[in-house]
Amino acid sequence: MKKKVLVTGGAGFIGSNFCNLNCEKYDVVALDNLFLGDSENLNSAVKFIEGDACKLSDLKKCGEKFDAVLHLAGTSSAPMFGGDGFVDGYRNSVESFCQTLKFAHDSGAKKFLYASTSSLYGNNPMPLVETQMVIPPNHYACTKFLYEQCARCFTQQFPEIETVGFRFMSVYGPNEEAKGQFANMISQFVWDVARDESPVIFGDGEQFRDFTNVVDVVQGITRAIEFDGKLGSEIFNIGTGEFATFNEILEIINEAFGKNVSAIRIPNPVTEMYVRGQEADISKISKTLGYAPTVDLKSGIRAQVEQLNFKKIRETSSDRLKKSGKILS
Ligand SMILES: NC(=O)c1ccc[n+]([C@@H]2O[C@H](COP(=O)([O-])OP(=O)(O)OC[C@H]3O[C@@H](n4cnc5c(N)ncnc54)[C@H](O)[C@@H]3O)[C@@H](O)[C@H]2O)c1
C-alpha cells in the first residue's frame, strides 16, 4: 500500500516539487494557505486543501491518518520578518510548526520531516557541517533553530515519532514565481534575463552559494521517508558540496538563453551579517541515507529556462530596483 504523506506549504516552491515528483509513489495531500503558494503549481494527482497549518481544524481536513508529515509551511525567508512582519513572521512559523507536529503525532505518523535552513550557519567556516556550533544570525534563522530544538524535545518525549530536519542550502528550480521578490536569486536572474533586463548584483558578484537543485532536495527528503533505520531527531544538510559565484550564475543563465545581458552592480545594501559564501559538507546525508546530488548547475538552470512560463513572472530584481532603489536579498 502507498504511504500517505501530508505536505504543509505543499503549493509553495519546494512543496509543489516534492508533491509532483512523488504523487505516484505516495498518496500525497498538500495543505497551503496560498500566502506565497499557487495551487497551479500542483499536478492533478495531488490532493490540494486550501487551509492554514496553524489551525487544527484545517489540518484535520487533510485526513486522519498519515505515515509521514513534511512541514514546509511557515515564513520562508529573512526579509519577511522586517518591519511589520516581525510578530506575524514568528507567530506563523512557530504556531504552524507546533500545530503540525502535534497533529502528525496524533495522526499516527512515524516521521515528521521539516525544513530548517543553512542560514543558521551565518558566516561559519566552510565547509558547513552539522556538528558546528550555530548562532542564528537573524529572526528567520531563529525560528529554524527553535524548530530543531523543539523537534529534539518532542522525539525525546514521544519516541514513537521521529523528527528529521533539513538544512537546505540555496535551493533553485521551477515553481518559484509566486514567491516574487522572495524567490532565489537564480529564479530572479532568469526572469530578468528572459525580459532582457539587467539583474541586480550586490557588490562585486564574487559572493558564492551552494546552489542545490530542488530535485535533489526532494531526493534527500524522500530518502529520509524511505529509510528503515533509526533517525531519531537527526538534522541533515542538503546541498551539493560545490559552489558558484553570482557572476558565474549570470554567465550560465545568459548561455542558456543565448543572450549577453549584463548586470547592474550596486553597493551591497545588506551591511550586517551578509553571507559571503556557502559550501556544504554533505557527508552525513550521503553516508546515512545514500544521498548524492544528481543535477549539475548548468543542466538545472537550462531546464529552468526551458520550463519558464512568462505569464507567471510577477516581479524581477530590476523591477524592485526601479521601485525602491534598494533590494532585499
Ligand atoms: N528555498 C530555499 O532556498 C530554502 C532554503 C532553506 C530553507 N527553506 C525552507 O523550506 C521551506 C519551504 O521553502 P520554499 O522555498 O518552498 O518556500 P515557499 O514560501 O515557496 O513555501 C512555503 C509555503 O507555505 C505556505 N504557507 C505559509 N504559511 C502557511 C500556513 N500557516 N499554513 C499553510 N501554508 C502556509 C506558503 O503559501 C507557501 O506556499 C520553508 O520553511 C523555508 O524556510 C527554503
pLDDT value at 322 more than 70: no
Q: Is residue 33 part of a domain?
A: yes
Which of 107-111, 156-160, 228-232, 317-321 bottoms out in mean pLDDT, i.e. has the lowest? 317-321
156 and 272 inside one domain: no
* Closest C-alpha among 174, 133, 142 to residue 18: 174
Q: Which atom of ligand 1 is nearest to the CA of 182?
A: 19
26 and 165 inside one domain: yes
| Ligand 1 neighbourhood includes 36 CB (under 6 angstroms) | yes
Query: What residues contact residue 35 under an 8 Å CB cut-off, 6+ apart?
Result: 92
pLDDT value at 317 more than 70: no
Q: For ligand 1, atom 28, which residue shows the shortest CA distance?
A: 74
pLDDT value at 195 more than 60: yes
Ligand 1: distance of its center to the CA of 144 in Å?
A: 12
135 and 198 inside one domain: no
Block residue for cell numbers 556544504 = 280
140 and 52 inside one domain: yes
- β-bridge partners, 165: 114, 235
232 and 110 inside one domain: yes
* pLDDT value at residue 327: 43
Residue numbers of the domain that contains 67:
4-170+211-238
* Closest C-alpha among 163, 211, 224, 191 to residue 18: 224
- pTM greater than 0.85 (yes/no): yes
- The full length of the chain comes to 329
pLDDT value at 328 more than 70: no
pLDDT > 70 fraction of the chain, expressed in percent and rounded = 95
| Ligand 1 neighbourhood includes 6 CB (under 6 angstroms) | no
Q: For ligand 1, atom 1, which residue shows the shortest CA distance?
A: 171
**In a 10 Å sphere around its CB, with 0-12 CB exposed, 13-18 middle and 19+ buried, how is residue 236 labelled?**
buried
* pLDDT value at residue 272: 80
d(CA 97, CA 323): 34
